[in-house]
Structure 1
Amino acid sequence: MADPFPQDRAHSTVALVLAGGRGGRLSPLTDARSKPAVPIAGQYRLIDVVLSNLANSALRDVWIVEQYRPFTLNQHLAGGRPWDLDGTRHGMRLLPPAEGRTEEGFAAGNGHALHQQIPLLESFGADTVVVLSADQLYQFDLRPALERHHSRGSELTMVTTETNDDPSRFGVVQVDGHDVVTRYDHKPDAPQGRLVASEIFIYDVAALAEVTRHLTAERGDPDGDSLGDYGDSILPHFVEHRRTHAYRMEGYWRDVGTIEAYYTAHMELLDGTGLDLDRPGWPLVTNPKHAPPAWIDTQATVSASLVTSGGRILGEVEHSVIGPGVVVEPGARVSHSVLLGDCVIPAGAVLESVIADVGAAIPPGRSGGPRRGQGDITVLVPADRGPNSSDETTGH
């Protein structure tokens, strides 16, 4: 079979972004779009964070593994142009579900998705693959981690961080005094410590191929469906049998895979304790929706808020994120809320602790309340959103 890639081996590291999950814990925000396409911080999308980190780390071969509702995501990615990843021999590559499989080639988990890409990585000539998710917020230069990975002869490097959240939501990592990973527990009921995997994994491609082929052969499953989540299959095997090290990420990190975490990330952004949108030398890049500058009327009151281009504020906005095309009418009040875009807050409406999706129907009167803990976030969606609706058709 002919090699599908140009034989240019100048770059031997591939970044593989797993961007195909349904993101059920972020429902209803993911009912009409893939999780990486969910808006964040007004004008951005979740996938902008991982792509900006990769581009700022000078990684040029970035492959996006897609699956669930990819159309809106592909519109936003624009072939990689916003991140200067639209090269001919190197750049962004979109990897749709594998052909010839049931359910249109959908992977049975991220471990299975990783297994599916190994032949392409080998064909490309990659010796290192960085596997990343698209639902974490952080700013991290991968180059020192890659250098350490190679200098130590690691077959897997787990980028780790300390979390203040419930560690049972993540992969909990134990390390010795030499940063060797001695234990990995995927979402344990009784976590030992707060050191967790940040969902950035650096693999030696040859070792990854050997491990996945060993596991699939042992299970009599050449297609790899049984690999499921790599936290339950691939990672434990590496820790037990392969040279596996940890590399600590310092600074802000937050997984935004749940509604509560997504809301909290926005409140941290407004408090100045979250993602640094204006970090010198490390821009957060997006493919923006073109809109005129935001308009703040003379009768408006705005405090401690982010107002995106295209917004029109005539009422009161406090400690909130206002997305593009949002109109806050006179006599309306928005507090501690996240409005994703293209909705009208009518006169007399009061929003508190609310997430309003793009095009959401905002009722008159009060929505939400002063409590902002788990389960106390009100999410509003478009009135016509049914089980088969999608923003794939509108391009939001």
Structure 2
Amino acid sequence: MKVGLNLLPTHKTLAIVMGGGAGTRLFPLTEERAKPAVPLGGKYRLVDIPISNCLNSSIRSIYVLTQFNSTSLHRHINTSYKFDSFTPSFVEILAAQQTPKNSKWYQGTADAVRQNLRYFLEQPYEYFLILSGDQLYRMDYRTILRQHVETDAEITIATTPVNRASASGFGIMQTDEQCHIAHFVEKPKDPAILDTLKIPPDLLRTIGHSENTELYQASMGIYVFNRSILSKCLDNDLEDFGRNVIPSAIQNHVVNAYIFQGYWEDIGTIHTFFKANLHLAEEFPSYSFYEAGAQIYTHPQFLPSSIIRTTSIDQAIISDGCVIEHSIIEHCVIGVRSIVKPGTRIQNSILMGADYYETDFPPSTTGLPAIGIGSDCSIEGAIIDKNARIGNRVLISPHGKSRNLDGEGFYIRDGIVVVPKNSVIPAGTLI
């Protein structure tokens, strides 16, 4: 039976955003913050993506599970998502905690949900939507919920088509033409196994691809569970959904795949973070924050418009509250309150900006460069984290260096120079 989007029981759906991972592959951006709190697109945070997708899908009951370096994430959520007193809407944080029954931190995604299951079951939710806090995509979750209801599935897993070269980096689903999942393999490497996991020809035609195309269904880490099934699947000590719970559930429950064909990027490494951000500044990005009726929400900062003086700008996002003078900006994302002094050239780089203007909180120690980018600097292939102080005549470039290197006041990861939050790079430094 077909179900209209507006008739779906979104009021009986609880969204659970996983925000507790250590994010080691995103170090040093995660040195002082949780991965979902990492700035994105100049003015947003990664966690804004799944929360905004929920709100735009009329799902307004949202928990965010947190654990590592969670202070800035808590602050962001508490200041960004406030609802009036006359609706049942909420975005609430469930931090890892010790209880009489459990004194351990979250051991994985499934364990995190298990430890908080008693809170999720307090209200009569029929469906549980489990989401990752570190992905970039736009999805109307009502579409996956509609398929879940119409097919009488007990679990539905969102998948995205990937080619053979990429398949070994994901959990791959083997389905029939009706998208019923028969088998799951985590990061398959064996060519013979990969041959058995290809999307069948009839299903390829259904989703608009040639039947000769070699594609695989990769798990997006997005799950819909029926209420009773989630309780059954967690009545054990399995730690992770992708590695443990889902392969076990396929043997005993009706588990279907929902094939999502829009843009999706797992922001798991410095390389993917860098690529996804700079892609936002291109002429025709695969993902855009400019989507009528499906805006991305974040903390309103009430900053003044940016001031730009005699500056050449090409393919760049310039956020609010910036002051850029007599410089060249090419293919960059410039975050809020960024200060760029005259004579500087910035190419293929991300400036995350600052949490405050230095005039509001003057530094107690004299002799430090001002927050922002000094004059006559050259910056290429870099991520400059928040509140960094880059002195005059500084050269930053990854060319001619190791792809992974720890330096004084900087790191190189995946061939990208990363200057951590609050770092100081003295005048005249060559990186």
Q: 1:277 aligns with which of 277, 289, 300?
A: 289
Relative contact order (C-alpha < 8 Å, sep 6+): which is higher? 1
Change (3 A) 1:62 1:243: same
Check conservation: 1:79, 1:85, Cα contact below 8 A: no
Find the residue that maps to 2:76 and give its secondary structure.
helix
Question: Could you tell me which of 332, 342, 353 is aligned with 2:381?
Answer: 353
- Aligned mates of 1:245, 1:278 — CA distance in 2: 32
Q: Distance in 1 between matches of 2:170 and 2:277?
A: 21
Aligned counterpart for 1:199 among listed residues 221, 234, 237:
221
What CA distance in whole angstroms lies between the structure 1 residues aligned with 2:18 and 2:230?
Answer: 16
- Name the residue aligned to 1:58: 58
Deviation at 1:194, TM superposition (A): 3.6
Can you list the C-alpha shifts for 1:34-72, whole angstroms capped at 9, x where unaligned? 111110000000011111100000001111111112221
- Match of residue 174 from structure 1: 174
Which structure has the larger Rg?
A: 2
Equivalent of 1:365 in 394, 399, 408: 394
Following the alignment from structure 2 to structure 1, what is the Cα–Cα distance between the partners of residues 257 and 47? Answer: 24
From 265, 269, 272, the counterpart of 1:258: 269
What SS does structure 1 have at the residue aligned with 2:47? Answer: helix
**Equivalence for 2:357:** none
Determine whether 1:124 maps to 2:117: no
1:236 corresponds to 2:247? yes
**Pair 174,101 (structure 1): closer, same or farther in 2 beyond 3 Å:** farther
Q: CA offset at residue 365 of structure 1? A: 3.0
1:346 and 1:194 map into 2 onto residues whose CA distance is 48
Structure 1 SS opposite 2:122: helix
Write the distance in 2 (CA, Å) between the matches of 1:27 and 1:87. 41
1:289 counterpart SS class: coil
Q: Secondary structure at the match of 1:63?
A: strand
In the alignment, which residue of structure 2 is the partner of 1:291?
303
Give the conservation status (yes or no) of the 8 Å contact 1:16–1:129: yes
Could you say what secondary structure the match of 1:113 adopts? helix
Q: Which moved more, 1:9-18 or 1:276-285?
A: 9-18
In the superposition, relative to structure 1, how do residues 47 and 125 fare at CA in structure 2: closer, same or farther (>3 Å)?
same
Q: Would you say the 8 A contact 1:353–1:377 is kept in 2? A: yes
- Name the residue aligned to 2:110: 111
CA distance in 1, matches of 2:38, 2:27: 11
How far the C-alpha of 1:346 sits from its partner, in A, is 1.4
* C-alpha separation in 1, matches of 2:85 and 2:245: 32
The alpha carbon displacement at 1:287 in A equals 0.8
How many angstroms apart in 2 are the aligned matches of 1:264 and 1:10? 34
3-state DSSP of counterpart to 2:136: strand
Give the C-alpha shift of residue 360 in structure 1.
Answer: 2.0
> Partner residue of 1:301?
312
Q: 2-side partners of 1:183 and 1:26: how far apart?
A: 31
1:292 positional shift: 1.1
Secondary structure at the residue paired with 2:295? Answer: coil
For structure 1, the 5+ residue unaligned runs are 1-8, 217-223, 386-396
Asked if the contact 2:171–2:188 (Cα under 8 Å) also holds between the matched residues in 1, the reply is: yes
Give the RMSD, CA atoms, in angstroms: 2.5
User: Which stretch shifts more, 180-189 or 256-265?
Assistant: 180-189
The answer as to whether partners of 1:350 and 1:367 remain within 8 angstroms in 2 is yes
Match of 1:381 in 2: 420
Alpha-carbon shift at residue 79 of structure 1 (Å)? 6.2
Q: Which AA in structure 2 matches 1:293?
A: S
Percentage of pairs with the same residue: 28
**How many angstroms apart in 2 are the aligned matches of 1:383 and 1:20?**
23
Distance 1:254 1:308 in 2: 22
Change (3 A) 1:182 1:362: farther
* Amino acid aligned to 1:375: D
- Tell me, in whole angstroms, the C-alpha distance in 2 between the residues paired with 1:46 and 1:352: 24
2:340 pairs, out of 328, 331, 346, with 328
- Mean CA deviation greater in 69-78 or 334-343: 69-78
The correspondence for 1:268, drawn from 266, 279, 294, is 279
| Distance in 2 of aligned mates of 1:369 and 1:383 | 20
Q: Give CA-to-partner distance per residue, 1:356-390, whole Å, 9 cap, x none.
A: 110123354321246999821111114659xxxxx
Query: Could you report, residue by residue, the CA deviation over 1:47-105 in whole angstroms, capped at 9, with x for unpaired residues?
Result: 111111000000011111111122211221126636x4876644222212133279965
Structure 1's 101 and 268: CA in aligned 2 closer, same or farther, altered over 3 A?
farther
Give structure 2 stretches of 5+ with no counterpart: 1-8, 195-214, 355-370, 404-412, 425-431
CA distance in 2, matches of 1:382, 1:21: 19
For the structure 1 residues 46 and 383, does the alpha-carbon distance in structure 2 shift closer, same or farther, using more than 3 Å as the test?
Answer: closer
Partner Cα separation in structure 2 for residue 235 and residue 93 of structure 1: 26
| Matched residue, 1:152 | 151
User: In the alignment, what sits opposite 1:388?
Assistant: none
Aligned to 2:3: none
The amino acid that maps onto 1:197 is S
Q: What secondary structure is seen at the aligned counterpart in 2 of 1:52?
A: helix
Cα distance in 2, alignment partners of residues 346 and 144 from structure 1 = 49
SS of match in other structure, 1:131:
strand
Report the AA paired with residue 145 of structure 1.
I
TM-aligned CA distance change 1:87 to 1:169, over 3 Å = farther
Residues 43 and 288, structure 1, Cα contact 8 Å, conserved in 2:
no
The alpha carbon displacement at 1:10 in A equals: 9.1
Q: What does residue 76 of structure 2 align with?
A: 76
